Structure formats: C-alpha cells, structure tokens
Structure 1
Amino acid sequence: MSVEIGLNAVVVARGAQAPMILALADAAGGARDALPFGPFDPHRHRTFETSLRAHVEAQTALSLGYIEQLYTFGDRGRHREAGEEGKHLVSVGYLALARPDEEAASRLEEAGARWRDWYAYLPWEDWRGGRPGLIDQAILPGLSAWAETPEADRAAATQRRARVRLAFGLDDVPWDEERVLERYELLYEAGLVSEALADRHADGAGRPDAAAPLGRAMQHDHRRIVATAIARLRAKIKYRPVVFELMPPDFTLTALQATVEAISGRHLHKQNFRRLVEGAELVEPTGAMTAGTGGRPAALFRFRRQILEERPAPGLKLGTR
C-alpha cells in the first residue's frame, strides 16, 4: 500500500461572537464540512508549511499569519473514506491564524468555502454563559451508559469513569478548557458523535445516522483535527501573544477580552483581565479613542511588540476556573 502525504489546515479567524474556522463544502454534495486540504509535492515546495500556505492562498486568497504544525493523523478511516484502493492518506494537521479582508471574502464564496463558528463543531466547549446544558442532558448520560456496558469488566469500567471525570470536570475535578481533544475522543469511543458510527457502519456494524446530534459532523477525522487545534490555541495564548495575530492593529481592551473569552470558552472578570493585560505590558495605548462601541468613547490600544525581546514567554497567564 502506498502512502500519500496531505496537509490539512485549521484556519482560525476572529468572529463577532466566536472564533471562526474556514470550512470547505462537501465535494460529494453531502452535509459534512471539510478542512482546507492539499497534497504535499516535494518537487514544487521545499517544506510542508510553504506547501500549505500556497494551497490555502490559492484556494481562498487568504494570507495566513501565524502557523504551526499540530500532529500527524493517519487513522485507517482516512483511507477508507478517501475511497482509493491501495493508497493510505496521512495528513499533517496545522493551526493557522488569519485576518480575512473583502478580497478573501469573495474568493471564499467562489471556492465553496465559508467561515463557521468553531463551537458549531464542539458546542460542549463553550462555557462563557455557564455550563452547557448539553453536557448534563445528553453527554454524561451517554458516557455513563458506555462506561457500564456489559463488555466492560470492572477495571475497564473504573478506568472509563475516571477518564470521564477528568475530561468533563466532575466531582472535585475542575473543568480544564485545554482537554478538548480528550473530550472529543471520549465521545468518539462511546459512539456519541456521528463520525464514530459512520466508521463502525463502514466496518459492518451499526448505522451511520444513529448518533445524537452532538455538534456538526465533519468529513474523515477533521473534527478531531479541529479539537486538537482548539486545545493548542487555548494553551498557546497563556504563554505566547498569538491572540494579537487575530486582532486588528488597533483595538479596545473590551474587544481583546471578548476574543480571549471566545477562544478559551470561559468568562473572565473585566477588572482582573485588564490588570493582567496591563501588568504583563502586552499592550500600549495609541492615544486615540473610538466611539464605535455603542457607549462612551473607549481608548484604543495596540500590541507592544517590544515584549517579544524582553520576555521569553509573554502570554496571558489566565487563572484556573
């Protein structure tokens, strides 16, 4: 069996209410979104990163800013869904940040791409308004039933319960916003997301449409790649100033807080956040004001780039929940 190397990008942009992910329409006419993808051709590009940038920019006119490699994904399901006998697809996943402009917006429509709220794929991750009802209504009952299935012996059941407790912050364990991938993989193993049942159906077991509607499904293992990217970005903003790659050059502290809250999926105390940002010397005032906030004029700030030379890990060290 031959192996083909592909490159998938989770391209994230700042949205009005939540971070947005660039999604491509299902080429087969189905309802499942896909991530931007392109094969790696070593004859045309020297590195994976330059190849990925070229594919995304050619498809969408988006100029990618910050970019980093996430993980290599090569599960058997990728080959099966690709439908090509004798070839196994291995995809290198990337996290990329972008600031879309008007030109990019028109090109996206031509390419059959759109921006989607990343919580459409993983709705249980958004705690800005408190604990999502979906967790208690559907997720925990489903995981409890999975942990106690007849085929699971006592040791396996105990291990499953412990994994659920850690991943979803039960009992005395606090919710950890960085355990995004662990939570998705638990739901996959328990058959609570439609990708899991589609894979089992392809193996001759179960029905592909039997899952509860836990988030918007994606092609192949793309939702797993999205979960990996969200976890990485949530961790990254705590020790690197990558959030400013999503912000316009000038911004209010309210807009910055809303962006950090949207990424982390948690509400932050306004005064504590401002003390944190100003105390870390991550921003500096521009001297200008904006009246576009709908209330009193607000001061505009910009990222203080000198911090990159002054400190090895200049990020937003958010406290635990």
Structure 2
Amino acid sequence: MTGIAQYTGTFLPSGLAPAELIAILVAVTDNQPRVMTLLGGEALPSGPFESSHRSLQSSLRAWIEAQTGHPVGYLEQLYTFADRDRDPRSGDVETSQRISISYLGLVREQDAAGAGRPSWRSWYRYFPWEDHRDSIPEEVPRIADRLTAWAGADPLKAQRVDYLFGLNGKTWNEELVLQRYELMYEAGLVDVPEFGLPMAGDNRRILATGISRLRAKIKYSPVVFELMPESFTLLQLQRTVEALSGLHLHKPNFRRQIDQQELVEETGEISSGTGGRPARLFRYRPAILEARMLSGARLPLSKS
C-alpha cells in the first residue's frame, strides 16, 4: 500500500471497520499556530494500532516517530470518529466506515525528516476565517454571503449562520471551529479553494476538532506552557495565547490576570532579543509543573 493510505490506516477484510490512530501535533512558531503534516500538507500523522504495541498512545508515538522523526511530550486523547462514509477514499460499502481515535500533542517545533515527508503548516492555511487577531478575515464576509444564500428563507439555518459567524449582533465565539467547519461542509463550501487548503479524507475535520479543544482548554488549564521555552517574556506568552485563540488580547488585562493567578515567576534574567527595550524573563512556577492538569487557573482571553 502506498501514498496517503500508507499513513492513514489499513483496510480490513470481512466487513470489519478499520481503526487508525491520528495525531494533531501543534507548535507555535513566530506567532503562528502550526500543525505537523505529512505528504506535502495533505494528511496528519497516523497509523493502525498494532498488537505489538502495549497501548494506543504508545502505538501512536511509534507512528509519529516513524513518519516525522519528531519527539512528542504532551499527548492527550481527543475524540473517536466512527461515522459511516467518512472516508471518500473507499468506494466499498464494507470498508467505508473507519474508526479513528484522535490525539492532541503539544510540542516545540523542530525540523523533522521522517518517512512521511513531514512539514509544518500554519493551521490558518486550512481555516483562514479563524484568525481574528488583526481584523475580521477577508474570507468571513464572502463565506457569510454564500451561507446566507444557502440558508435562504429557512430561519433555523439563518440563525446557525449568524450564531457561528458572529453576524447580525451575535458575538464571535472562537471555540466553535468544528461547528463552523461542519456548517460550511453542509453548505458545500469546504472544497472552495479560497476557503482553505484541502486535506486527505476527513483529516481537516479532525484538525478542526483539535483546534476547538485547544482553544477551550487554554482557558481553564495551563497547557499553553507546553508550547513555551523554559524562559520567556510576558509578551511572548501573550502572543502564543493570541496565536492559538485567533484573538487580539488586551495587554494590561492579560498581565494583570497572569499576576493575580501566580502562574509565572521571574527568572532574574533579561531577554537578549534585538529590537525594543530588554524585557524581564519568566518561567512557569514549579507548583504549576507539579499539578498542571489539576489546576483551575484560567488564562485571560478578553478582547481589547
């Protein structure tokens, strides 16, 4: 088996639904949220669970290592997808249902040279309407026009369009990435070239699921520090949160809430970066390291 199928599971005989493990590896580099892809950006790292592996996670880590050569630390299970006819690559009714178990991994970007032609891509290349840091993306009004035409006189469809895309007095909710993508899929817009790069099978839908989860999770868990170097400036931390959320944050509010929650402490060192005034360096507190998944800390995500 060659091509994309080599990295996205194995079809099984006798009507059995094939199962695959699939990884969304996220890094933030140069203020861009980036995802590890294979085959020129067409697919996410994945592979079938094999009996020689002691667990689902260890199996996926082995596939990631083989396909990307990239080390993985933080990894959490997302969702299991088992919809019939999800995979357009198979025309066989018996094999058109596949089970995919998705995982979210947070890493610091390194060059990768695995067997799957790995490369890092900004996730906004797949979902350009999701980046509201500087302004409303130019794709949003074009999508809105086409969705409005699709909704026609159906009030329920029109309400969904308004709610998901922040139209007619509704507030944009950055967490609803998956719901927006599925609405566009329903309206036949996800394959329009100007609305983002395509991916194999339903990898783009799975990526949307991961983005939704991470945007929600950074509000109640300090997982963002998995993406940070050992020491960082508060501006670097803010830019990372902004990159993930797709929102511009109010700088004084962000810093005040970081101080109040005691998430970080000064290292006593000054940044050596060029341009602008030297800034104090911080690290996340050891207490956060010990209990990060039990913490109720919330990062500020209020818009300016």
TM-score in same-fold range (> 0.5):
yes
- The answer to whether the aligner puts 1:193 opposite 2:190 as a matched pair is yes
1:165 shift after superposition: 1.2
Report what 2:113 is aligned to: 107
Give the RMSD, CA atoms, in angstroms: 2.0
Is contact 2:38–2:118 with CA below 8 Å preserved after alignment?
yes
Change (3 A) 1:305 1:35: same
Is contact 1:192–1:212 with CA below 8 Å preserved after alignment?
no
1:71 shift after superposition: 1.2
Please point out which of 295, 300, 303 is paired with 1:312.
295
Query: Partner of 2:17: helix, strand, or coil?
Result: strand
1:1-321 equivalent positions in 2, closer than 5 A: 1-25=15-39, 33-41=42-50, 43-82=51-90, 86-87=94-95, 88-101=97-110, 105-108=111-114, 111-136=116-141, 138-148=142-152, 157-194=154-191, 211-307=192-288, 309=291, 312-319=295-302
1:172 shift after superposition: 2.4
Residue segments in structure 1 that go unaligned for 5+ positions in a row = 27-31, 149-153, 195-210
1:297 shift after superposition: 1.1
Query: Partner of 1:14: helix, strand, or coil?
Result: strand
Report what 2:5 is aligned to: none
Report what 1:206 is aligned to: none
1:296 shift after superposition: 1.5
Query: Partner of 1:64: helix, strand, or coil?
Result: coil
Structure 1 range deviating more: 289-298 or 311-320: 311-320
CA deviation profile, 1:231-272 (whole Å, cap 9, x unmatched): 100010111110000000111111111100000000011121
TM-score, normalising length from structure 1? 0.84
Q: Distance in 1 between matches of 2:251 and 2:272?
A: 20
Query: Partner of 1:107: helix, strand, or coil?
Result: coil
Structure 1 range deviating more: 119-128 or 292-301: 292-301
1:167 shift after superposition: 0.5
Query: Partner of 1:93: helix, strand, or coil?
Result: strand
Is contact 2:70–2:112 with CA below 8 Å preserved after alignment?
no
Q: Distance in 1 between matches of 2:108 and 2:18?
A: 31
Structure 1 range deviating more: 267-276 or 234-243: 267-276
Q: Distance in 2 between matches of 1:83 and 1:301?
A: 54
Q: Distance in 1 between matches of 2:85 and 2:277?
A: 54
**How many percent of aligned residue pairs carry the same amino acid?**
48
TM-score, normalising length from structure 2? 0.88
Query: Partner of 1:19: helix, strand, or coil?
Result: strand
1:93 shift after superposition: 1.2
The number of residues matched between the two structures is: 287
Change (3 A) 1:302 1:176: same
Q: Distance in 2 between matches of 1:57 and 1:314?
A: 32
Change (3 A) 1:141 1:306: same
1:213 shift after superposition: 2.2
Residue segments in structure 2 that go unaligned for 5+ positions in a row = 1-14
1:77 shift after superposition: 3.6
Is contact 1:77–1:220 with CA below 8 Å preserved after alignment?
no
CA deviation profile, 1:176-223 (whole Å, cap 9, x unmatched): 0001111000100000111xxxxxxxxxxxxxxxx3521111111111
> Moved runs in structure 1, 4+ residues, more than 4 A?
82-85, 308-311
Query: Partner of 1:45: helix, strand, or coil?
Result: coil
Is contact 1:237–1:315 with CA below 8 Å preserved after alignment?
yes
1:17 shift after superposition: 2.9
1:313 shift after superposition: 1.1
Query: Partner of 1:160: helix, strand, or coil?
Result: helix
Is contact 2:67–2:118 with CA below 8 Å preserved after alignment?
no
1:317 shift after superposition: 4.0
Query: Partner of 2:295: helix, strand, or coil?
Result: coil
Q: Distance in 2 between matches of 1:73 and 1:117?
A: 24
